[in-house]
Structure 1
């Protein structure tokens, strides 16, 4: 039997990764809440984005990328596991 609690811990803190995901969305000019409300993104795909972020192992690089951004044109880091989804949702 799989230990789901241990597996969840190994993925990383869900709240940290949710924050990172939403910060990258902001840098991309994407409103995730609006995308869900309008049907551009369904709840399962949103959950998959968070889970892939948690398992990617790039949270430090992501946080540094976010902190280095100073506005400018919308962008998504290439190492982001959700980059393809963000690019589809970008205005």
Structure 2
């Protein structure tokens, strides 16, 4: 199970995506593979990492920045947003 699937189990994260009108299918957690390869996560039950989540809406790209708290043993993940930016589509 990847981090995106874990996050989508939480109603708060789905509400956040709906607020920005981000399509779940167009959601990317940047550098997700490096989060799993990090030495900290191997010996710790709960890992806290800064992340950048990119999503697409009808208006363009939405970049969400924040902290990801996750526990792969219990299959839990929570995103704590600290900021965002919208990049409009230029026609």
Per the normalisation by structure 2, the TM-score is: 0.34
Between Structure 1 and Structure 2, which shows a larger proportion of helix residues? 1
Per the normalisation by structure 1, the TM-score is: 0.34
> Which structure is richer in relative contact order (CA contacts within 8 A, separation 6 or more)?
1
Between Structure 1 and Structure 2, which shows a larger proportion of strand residues? 2
